[in-house]
Structure 1
Amino acid sequence: MTLARRRSNDWFPSFPSLIDRFFDGGLMDWDNSNFAGNDSTLPAVNVKENENRFQIEVAAPGLKKEDFKINFDNGRLTISSEKKTEREEKDGDRTTRREFSYQSFQRSFSIPENTIDADKIMANYQDGILHITLPKREEAKPKPAREIKIS
């Protein structure tokens, strides 16, 4: 059995086939820089902890720092993003193709109570990675072992 593509001029020579346009890349050639292109609706996240801080890295390429919203409330860190795009292709006065996309996500993390110095949380976005640093309060940092003398 051989798979063969039907040519658009077989039945209606003046109308290009939607299937032909799909396989030729005519319908799917626009940049799909969203999370759905990776079979995922949530960006990947790395969480690291050391004695001084928690560090969170969110892989979200294609966004701008203005697309993010970060909140810390009652021991809960919430990272969200919302992005809308619209593209239009015109042929003279007619619109020949108009596409729009909407992508959003929200991730929340529970932080142990009274662990974070909320006033010193920092975030920056560089090379498609959102970096969030949550410094620990002094009283939450591990203390060195203390030797107890016997009397």
Structure 2
Amino acid sequence: MTLVKFNNGHRNAVNPFFSDVFQSLLNDTQVSDRFVTKTPAVNIAETENQFEIELAAPGLSKEDFKISIDKNVLSVSAEKKTENVEEGKKYSKKEYAYNSFVRSFTLPESADQSKIEAEYINGILTLKVSKKEEAKVQSREIAVK
């Protein structure tokens, strides 16, 4: 059985232009950007010696970030305020942009909270959380008797 989208041409029988205007307005990037909360995408990886957390946060500088740890919760926040001013003959146009986010991560018991490093390169904030020595996987060979 095949499903086919059926269009009788009755999209908006009263005024087809009316729905097109609202469709373009709601899909406008300037309108949608102001109403969407921007939370950076995160990649979390575990290696033998550490946990690595990568946050995609382009357009920021390392001074915009605040990284803190409370008990076993690692919090990363950023705040950036920009102001654009254009002056013309009889008008002044000011645009303010304020971007901020907070991401929190609960660290496992195996994480060594005293050994956390942060680095911001090319729009990616990388956090490296070392593991405690007793939590590291120790490999050894077992002899067969």
Which residue number in structure 1 is paired with residue 48 of structure 2?
51
SS of 1:118's equivalent? strand
Which residue number in structure 2 is paired with residue 117 of structure 1?
112
What letter is aligned with 2:44?
Answer: V
Structure-2 change in CA distance of 1:2 and 1:72 (3 Å):
closer
Shift of the alpha carbon at 1:146? 6.7
Which residue number in structure 2 is paired with residue 140 of structure 1?
135
Matched, 1:106 2:106: no
Which 4+ runs in 1 deviate beyond 6 A?
none
CA contact (8 A) 1:88 1:95 kept: no
Which residue number in structure 2 is paired with residue 88 of structure 1?
85
Q: Distance in 1 between matches of 2:39 and 2:16?
A: 40
Could you list the runs of 5+ residues in structure 2 that have no partner in the other structure?
1-14, 18-28
* Identity fraction in percent: 44
Q: Distance in 2 between matches of 1:95 and 1:129?
A: 39
Which residue number in structure 2 is paired with residue 25 of structure 1?
none
Higher strand fraction: Structure 1 or Structure 2?
2
What letter is aligned with 2:126?
Answer: H
Shift of the alpha carbon at 1:96? 2.2
Which residue number in structure 1 is paired with residue 126 of structure 2?
131
SS of 2:84's equivalent? strand
Shift of the alpha carbon at 1:142? 1.8
SS of 2:114's equivalent? helix
SS of 2:54's equivalent? strand
Q: Deviations over 1:3-31 (max 9, x none)?
A: 7xxxxxxxxxxxxxxxxxxxxxxxx9xxx
CA contact (8 A) 1:44 1:59 kept: yes
- After the TM superposition, which of the residue ranges 50-59 and 39-48 deviates more from structure 2? 39-48
SS of 1:62's equivalent? coil
- Aligned CA RMSD, in angstroms, stands at 2.9
What letter is aligned with 1:123?
Answer: A
What letter is aligned with 1:46?
Answer: N
Shift of the alpha carbon at 1:108? 0.4
Q: Distance in 2 between matches of 1:91 and 1:109?
A: 47
